Amino acid sequence: MSGAPSTSTISHEDVLAWLRVYAQVIADNRGYLTDLDAAIGDADHGANMDRGFKAVIAKLMDTADKDISTTLRTVGMALISTVGGAAGPLYGTLFLQASQAAAGKTALTLSDWATMLDAATEGVIKRGKAGPGDKTMVDALVPAVQALKGAIAAGQSFPEALQSSARAAEHGMQSTLPLIAHKGRASYLGERSAGHLDPGATSSYLLIKAAADTWAGSY
Amino acid sequence: MSGAPSTSTISHEDVLAWLRVYAQVIADNRGYLTDLDAAIGDADHGANMDRGFKAVIAKLMDTADKDISTTLRTVGMALISTVGGAAGPLYGTLFLQASQAAAGKTALTLSDWATMLDAATEGVIKRGKAGPGDKTMVDALVPAVQALKGAIAAGQSFPEALQSSARAAEHGMQSTLPLIAHKGRASYLGERSAGHLDPGATSSYLLIKAAADTWAGSY
Amino acid sequence: MKKLINQPDDVVRESLEGFAAAFSGMIRLHVDPVYIVRADAPAKGKVGVLSGGGSGHEPMHGGFVGYGMLDAACPGAIFTSPTPDQMQEATRAINGGVGVLHIIKNYTGDIMNFEMAADLARDEGIEVASVIIDDDVAVKDSLYTAGRRGVGTTVLAEKITGAAAQQGRPLAEVADVCQRVNGYGRSMGVALTSCTVPHVGHATFELPEDQMEIGIGIHGEPGRARTALQPADQVTEMLMEPVIADLPFKTGDEVLLFVNGMGGTPLPELHIVYRKALQIATQHGLKVTRSLVGPYMTSLEMAGCSVTLLKLNAELTALWDAPVCTPGMRWGM
Amino acid sequence: MKKLINQPDDVVRESLEGFAAAFSGMIRLHVDPVYIVRADAPAKGKVGVLSGGGSGHEPMHGGFVGYGMLDAACPGAIFTSPTPDQMQEATRAINGGVGVLHIIKNYTGDIMNFEMAADLARDEGIEVASVIIDDDVAVKDSLYTAGRRGVGTTVLAEKITGAAAQQGRPLAEVADVCQRVNGYGRSMGVALTSCTVPHVGHATFELPEDQMEIGIGIHGEPGRARTALQPADQVTEMLMEPVIADLPFKTGDEVLLFVNGMGGTPLPELHIVYRKALQIATQHGLKVTRSLVGPYMTSLEMAGCSVTLLKLNAELTALWDAPVCTPGMRWGM
Ligand SMILES: Nc1ncnc2c1ncn2[C@@H]1O[C@H](COP(=O)(O)OP(=O)(O)O)[C@@H](O)[C@H]1O
Ligand SMILES: Nc1ncnc2c1ncn2[C@@H]1O[C@H](COP(=O)(O)OP(=O)(O)O)[C@@H](O)[C@H]1O
Ligand SMILES: [Mg+2]
Ligand SMILES: [Mg+2]
Ligand SMILES: [Mg+2]
Ligand SMILES: [Mg+2]
């Protein structure tokens, strides 16, 4: 996607690349996410996310010359006004909070990225009032943030830290399988929600993984 | 069903036996007649006839001490007020006309029966305005009447004549298979009505056959 | 068969009982024989308007009993014409002394049963006029067949004729209005699925996932032809073009456009069909001045729809707009 | 998937276009962002009443826009809450200067999007109050879950609240009426079949011929439990008993009984359910003084129904009876 910059930071261009990759990942997994949502929700998560990220891509045409924070804000606003459902406000908030945390930055260090993801996750938790174990996207995001912070403390390299957070998000996503949902639409199913992956946790894992994959050679 | 009377005529009791046998035949063929109607009509002929003849049987409890004409009139009225659809007025008329032709008779000779069936068939034709080849019950009734008349002219016995008319009705019913319906609900299908037996022709054949079977040993 | 019913043989009776209880302010249910009648019938000095037919087409006809529409309706068994005794008693119950109009859909059974009932009512000294609705362009009309079926125009005829009767017009005039509506209305329908008659227990016909029946009636019967399933816009064209060609409807005509649901098709799909039908009508220079969209004349749970075009004039438009207060159609009061 | 549609992605837009054209006298369609608004909005000095939610529930909510009910409705994608910008603009469009009430069904997505919209509208200086409808007794209520879903009571709340607003009552009072309706209404639903979301193309869940889903919502989601298909009377009991027990409704209570069709169930079946529900209510000493039967809040073509009981008093009854003129509910005018 992006060329490999010489510094060990994430450029605006890298962020754009990540968003483009994720939009493609969502398009590819549209049916999968919707099937997950059909089992314990209302069969629209894939369509919702795909509609949102198609709108994001269209909007990003105009922001190539803006900065990281502006881009992320644009993403958040586009998601809020096109996705709807639970995912719209939640992913919208995620990107708006990340945007605020990135204010003024022209490139992101590993610790910038950790701070942003932390703020983004806090935003999601505040908006949706879900905690870990409620079988939501929070179950993928929180471990990703924790893994990032741990990686920094352990002195891992940027690529290693990204891989750690992606793996943690994956485990978090998988941890939703046996859970009984307490938040969102799946909670109406009560015990019948157990035995299915949470669609939002899955799309959140894919978001973290897209960052790790896209930025693998960018530092 | 009925014992064998000493004269070669059909008694009131024989007529009642015929009606009871036919009611049972209809109950047994309810699903079959409805399936025939499903193919080229509206899937109710079996249910219609069964509803009607169940009502007939209930009414006949009261008429055991009446005469043939009264009984047939009761049958006609019961059919008219319970069957509905095309079959209600048509079978109702059939029995009302047979009743009129039997007025004053305490027993039916072969020629009485032929006269009655002729009048009944004419009544159906007048009410429904269908002719032979229109793929209706007329296609079973008209050959039955013709066979009866022919049998009389040929000097056949009562049982032989009844068998002749039943065979003719059966052929008449079978002749409807390739026909394109011109009357009734099947006519809306146009050419798609060909290749299916007409349900009304089938129930009419069963009526004639029930007479032949019931009265086989009654003369 | 998946239905919210108890015994198949009790479907009509139990649903009528529920219906009558839910709309007790507007209608009454008479049993033995069965008919639905306006709560305030008979209206003295007003022509009574009666219709009826097999059940399974709800809200038609019972749902159209009330002020400004039908005075009574006779429901038969499912998809089976009611019987003459029902019609005769209903005719008596709504006779306000100035006669009764029978609105009859053109099916052999309905015709014969209504004919017998009219004879019986006339024997009692009640003046009876009859109008036969036969608006289905899918069926070839001919002297040698049963003629065209009565479909969507029936709903419009009952509304407009009922309004004319409500105005106090005499029987001949009321019958004439009904006759004119029938002359000006044309319909055609399509099915995406069959329906299941409760006492049969399985679908009347099997329709593969990629096929549809075009030119259907309202009794779950197969249509004129089975064709590949098409997008809604093409289906709408297949229905609209024969309808427009038949009267024919001409540039400048004011029309009512009625998109009717067969029961199992949700409203948004009917609106998609309406959208295209309106475009096609407009392309033909027709002015759609009145509209009706919804499941008004159904075939149980069949998926599909029909479109009806009715040519309007000032009189018919005013009668359409007149107040009506029935369980199935209500405005102006 | 057998539907009268063109492209799955065009279903909502095209059906809204058809809907707006068919009911142009009552409502207008605004696009970008999408909302349906009363043809005569804003009504100066009247509280505006706004609702919205995913599409696929028609006639709710767009079909309830008009005199005496909603001032605007925001339709989302199928089964997906609309977005804050839609709600914000609709709020602005119906603000008659005395504030706007948002009626929100209790779904996480709806809550969050309406919350954001209310914040945005308040930033503009528009007074906004919100009432959340959560009447589904099939769902256990708890602080630790998303709480109960908003189902059938929503329809009744929109009618009654709309009437209160139409009388010119101030925002706090209008909100209070809505809150009380929610407090007095309880519902539960059953599905006999799944529905098919157009862009998915196959049924959301598979339900064998002899099974039903009890305790469903309105988004084609599975219910609380899958059980053997029962006769209508038993199914009605399974719905009514938890509803009655929950408030609890008591001997002597006057109630409105609402039997709602999920889309694919024909009217006669709803009347069979109504018949039994009325018997059960009566056995419990409840006085059913008002009724509503029909597909008012659907899940596309899903077969099934829900029952709602709403405890009435003189005020709520009068508001229920007040004139209403919308595409989906109309009386008194
Ligand atoms: N309160 C909440 N907090 C965090 N995430 C939530 C919450 N409610 C739902 N979600 C997430 O949203 C996902 C569903 O999104 P989506 O299907 O697009 O919206 P909807 O549920 O409105 O149809 C769930 O799988 C879950 O991960
Ligand atoms: N005009 C007619 N003349 C004679 N028989 C007719 C006529 N129309 C219909 N039938 C007979 O009636 C039968 C259908 O009866 P039935 O299914 O009970 O009534 P419906 O067609 O009203 O549903 C047809 O199979 C045919 O034999
Ligand atoms: Mg969802
Ligand atoms: Mg039939
Ligand atoms: Mg029939
Ligand atoms: Mg959703």
Cα(D185)–Cα(D175) distance, integer angstroms:
15
Q: With a cut of 90, say whether residue D30 has pLDDT above it.
A: yes
Least confident of B36-45, D167-176, D307-316: B36-45
The sign of the torsion formed by the CA atoms of B200, B202, B203, B209 equals positive
Would C2 be classed as within a structural domain? no
Cα(D151)–Cα(D187) distance, integer angstroms:
7
Alpha carbon of B173: minimum distance to chain C alpha carbons (Å): 20
**B173-210 pLDDT tens trace:** 999 999 999 999 898 888 889 999 999 999 999 999 99
Cα(C151)–Cα(C187) distance, integer angstroms:
7
For residue D74, the number of C-alpha atoms closer than 13 Å in the C-beta half-sphere is: 34
Per the CB < 8 Å rule, is A185 touching D219? yes
Residues from chain C that touch D22, judged by Cβ atoms under 8 A, are 259, 271, 274, 278, 291, 293
Domain count, chain D: 2
Q: With a cut of 50, say whether residue C172 has pLDDT above it.
A: yes
Instruction: Please give the pLDDT value at position B218.
Output: 63
Q: Give, using CA atoms, the residue closest to atom 1 of ligand 2.
A: B128
Would D245 be classed as within a structural domain? yes
The arithmetic mean of pLDDT across residues C171-190, rounded, is 98
Tell me, what amino acid is at D285? G
Q: Are strands B10-11 and A107-108 parallel, antiparallel or unpaired?
A: unpaired
**A94-137 pLDDT tens trace:** 999 999 999 999 999 999 999 999 999 999 999 999 999 999 99
Domain count, chain B: 1
| Same-domain status, C194 and C174 | no
E strands within B18-146? 107-108
Among candidate residues D141, D169, D184, the one where a domain is terminated: D184
Selecting from B81, B127, B182 the residue whose C-beta is nearest the C-beta of C85 gives B81
CATH number of the domain bearing residue D119 = 3.40.50.10440
* C82 neighbors C74 (Cβ within 8 angstroms): yes
Instruction: Please give the pLDDT value at position B126.
Output: 96
Q: At what angle do helices B68-82 and B45-60 cross, to 10 degrees?
A: 140
Cα(C304)–Cα(D72) distance, integer angstroms:
30
* Chains touching chain A, criterion 3+ CB pairs below 8 Å: D
Instruction: Please give the pLDDT value at position A159.
Output: 93
**B93-103 pLDDT tens trace:** 999 999 999 99
Instruction: Using 70 as the pLDDT threshold, list the residues of chain A that sit under it.
Output: 1-7, 63-64, 218-219
Residue D219 known to be catalytic: yes
The arithmetic mean of pLDDT across residues B4-21, rounded, is 82
Q: Are strands D100-105 and D128-133 parallel, antiparallel or unpaired?
A: parallel
DSSP single-letter state for residue A95: H
Per the CB < 8 Å rule, is C192 touching D3? yes
Q: Are strands C287-294 and C254-261 parallel, antiparallel or unpaired?
A: parallel
Between the CA of D200 and the centroid of ligand 2 the distance, in Å, is: 44
| Residue C10: its H or E element | none
Instruction: Please give the pLDDT value at position C224.
Output: 80
Percentage of chain B beyond pLDDT 70 is 95
Cα(C127)–Cα(C125) distance, integer angstroms:
6
Would D109 be classed as within a structural domain? yes
Q: With a cut of 70, say whether residue D200 has pLDDT above it.
A: yes
| Residue B115: its H or E element | helix B110-128
Q: With a cut of 70, say whether residue D167 has pLDDT above it.
A: yes
| Same-domain status, D28 and D120 | yes
Instruction: Please give the pLDDT value at position C215.
Output: 93
Cα(D209)–Cα(D207) distance, integer angstroms:
7
Pocket test for ligand 2, best of C79, C80, C108, C143 (most atoms within 8 A of CB): C108
Residues from chain C that touch D198, judged by Cβ atoms under 8 A, are none
Would A61 be classed as within a structural domain? yes
Question: Does the beta carbon of B199 lie inside 6 Å of ligand 2?
Answer: yes
For chain B, the distance separating the N- and C-terminal CA atoms, rounded to the nearest angstrom, is 13
Helix (H, G, I), strand (E, B) or coil at A105: coil
Please give the model's pTM, rounded to 2 decimal places: 0.95
Would B113 be classed as within a structural domain? yes
Among candidate residues D184, D203, D232, the one where a domain is terminated: D184
Per the CB < 8 Å rule, is D81 touching A88? yes
* Residue whose structure tokens are 């990204």: A162
State the catalytic residue, choosing from C30, C57, C61, C102: C57
State the catalytic residue, choosing from D30, D57, D61, D102: D57
Query: For chain A, how big is the Rg over CA atoms in Å?
Result: 16
Phi first, then psi, for residue C100 (nearest 5°) are -135, 135
Instruction: Please give all residues whose beta carbon lies within 6 A of any atom in ligand 1, as ranges.
Output: A 37, 41-42, 44-45, 48, 85-87, 90, 124, 128-130, 136-138, 183-185, 198-201; D 80-81, 108-109
CB within 8 Å of D203: residues ≥ 6 apart: D193, D194, D195, D196
The arithmetic mean of pLDDT across residues D61-78, rounded, is 98
Instruction: Please give the pLDDT value at position B47.
Output: 94
Partners of D330 in the β-ladder = D325
Q: Is D206 exposed, middle or buried (0-12, 13-18, 19+ CB in 10 A)?
A: exposed
Partners of C70 in the β-ladder = C65
The arithmetic mean of pLDDT across residues C169-187, rounded, is 98
Question: C222 pLDDT band (50/70/90 cuts)?
Answer: confident
| Same-domain status, D265 and D293 | yes
Per the CB < 8 Å rule, is C278 touching D18? yes
Helix (H, G, I), strand (E, B) or coil at B102: coil
Per the CB < 8 Å rule, is A188 touching D149? yes
Would C3 be classed as within a structural domain? no
Cα(B30)–Cα(D270) distance, integer angstroms:
28
What HEC string does D204-269 produce?
Answer: CCCCCCCEEEECCCCCCCCCCEEEECCCHHHHHHHHHHHHHHHCCCCCCCEEEEEEEECCCCCHHH
Would B111 be classed as within a structural domain? yes
**D132-161 pLDDT tens trace:** 999 999 987 776 778 899 999 999 999 999
Q: With a cut of 70, say whether residue B64 has pLDDT above it.
A: no
Question: B219 pLDDT band (50/70/90 cuts)?
Answer: low
Q: Are strands D35-38 and D72-78 parallel, antiparallel or unpaired?
A: antiparallel
* C179 neighbors C104 (Cβ within 8 angstroms): no
Residue C156 structural domain? 9-184
B66 in contact with chain C, both atoms CB, cutoff 8 A: no
| Same-domain status, D62 and D46 | yes
For chain D, the distance separating the N- and C-terminal CA atoms, rounded to the nearest angstrom, is 40
Of A145, A155, A160, nearest to A207 by C-alpha is: A145
Whole-Å CA distances, C277 to A1, C242, C282: 48, 12, 8
Residue B166 structural domain? 10-215
* Chains touching chain B, criterion 3+ CB pairs below 8 Å: C
| Residue A20: its H or E element | helix A12-40
Cα(C71)–Cα(D126) distance, integer angstroms:
51
Selecting from C76, C200, C205 the residue whose C-beta is nearest the C-beta of B84 gives C76
Between the CA of A194 and the centroid of ligand 1 the distance, in Å, is: 16
Would D290 be classed as within a structural domain? yes
What HEC string does B161-218 produce?
Answer: HHHHHHHHHHHHHHHCCCCCCCCCHHHHHHHHHCCCCCHHHHHHHHHHHHHHHHCCCC
Which atom from ligand 1 is nearest to the alpha carbon of A124? 4
Rounded to 5°, the CA angle C185-C189-C191 comes to: 165
Cα(A31)–Cα(D119) distance, integer angstroms:
34
| Same-domain status, D174 and D306 | no
Residue length, chain A? 219
| Same-domain status, C212 and C310 | yes
| Same-domain status, D64 and D192 | no
Would C1 be classed as within a structural domain? no
| Same-domain status, C165 and C39 | yes
| Same-domain status, C149 and C120 | yes
Phi first, then psi, for residue A161 (nearest 5°) are -65, -40
| Residue C211: its H or E element | strand C211-214
Question: Does the beta carbon of B118 lie inside 6 Å of ligand 2?
Answer: no
Between the CA of C53 and the centroid of ligand 5 the distance, in Å, is: 9
**What is the strand order of the sheet D211-214 is part of?**
D225-228, D211-214, D185-191, D304-311, D254-261, D287-294
CATH number of the domain bearing residue C251 = 3.30.1180.20
| Same-domain status, C13 and C161 | yes
| Same-domain status, D18 and D144 | yes
Residue C219 known to be catalytic: yes
The arithmetic mean of pLDDT across residues D100-129, rounded, is 97
The DSSP-derived string for C108-120 is HHHHHHHHHHHHH
Question: Does the beta carbon of C96 lie inside 6 Å of ligand 2?
Answer: no
Would B3 be classed as within a structural domain? no
Phi first, then psi, for residue D73 (nearest 5°) are -140, 140
* A120 neighbors A95 (Cβ within 8 angstroms): yes
Selecting from B34, B41, B85 the residue whose C-beta is nearest the C-beta of C81 gives B85
CB within 8 Å of C57: residues ≥ 6 apart: C218, C297, C298, C299
**Residues in C 63-122 with any Cβ partner in D closer than 8 A:** 63
Would A3 be classed as within a structural domain? no
Would A84 be classed as within a structural domain? yes
The arithmetic mean of pLDDT across residues C102-120, rounded, is 96
Percentage of chain D beyond pLDDT 70 is 99
Helix (H, G, I), strand (E, B) or coil at C191: strand
Residues from chain A that touch D76, judged by Cβ atoms under 8 A, are 84-85
What HEC string does D169-204 produce?
Answer: CCHHHHHHHHHHHHHHEEEEEEECCCCECCCCCCEC
Q: Are strands C35-38 and C72-78 parallel, antiparallel or unpaired?
A: antiparallel
* Residue whose structure tokens are 């209504």: C114
Ligand nearest to the CA of residue A49, numbered in listed order: 1
Would C160 be classed as within a structural domain? yes
Would A5 be classed as within a structural domain? no
DSSP single-letter state for residue C203: B
Would A55 be classed as within a structural domain? yes
Among candidate residues C154, C184, C214, the one where a domain is terminated: C184
**CA of B36: which chain C residue's CA is closest?**
C204
Cα(C317)–Cα(A76) distance, integer angstroms:
52
Cα(B121)–Cα(A144) distance, integer angstroms:
87
Tell me, what amino acid is at C303? A
| Same-domain status, C163 and C14 | yes
Helix (H, G, I), strand (E, B) or coil at B63: helix
Residues from chain B that touch C81, judged by Cβ atoms under 8 A, are 84-86, 88
CATH number of the domain bearing residue A52 = 1.25.40.340
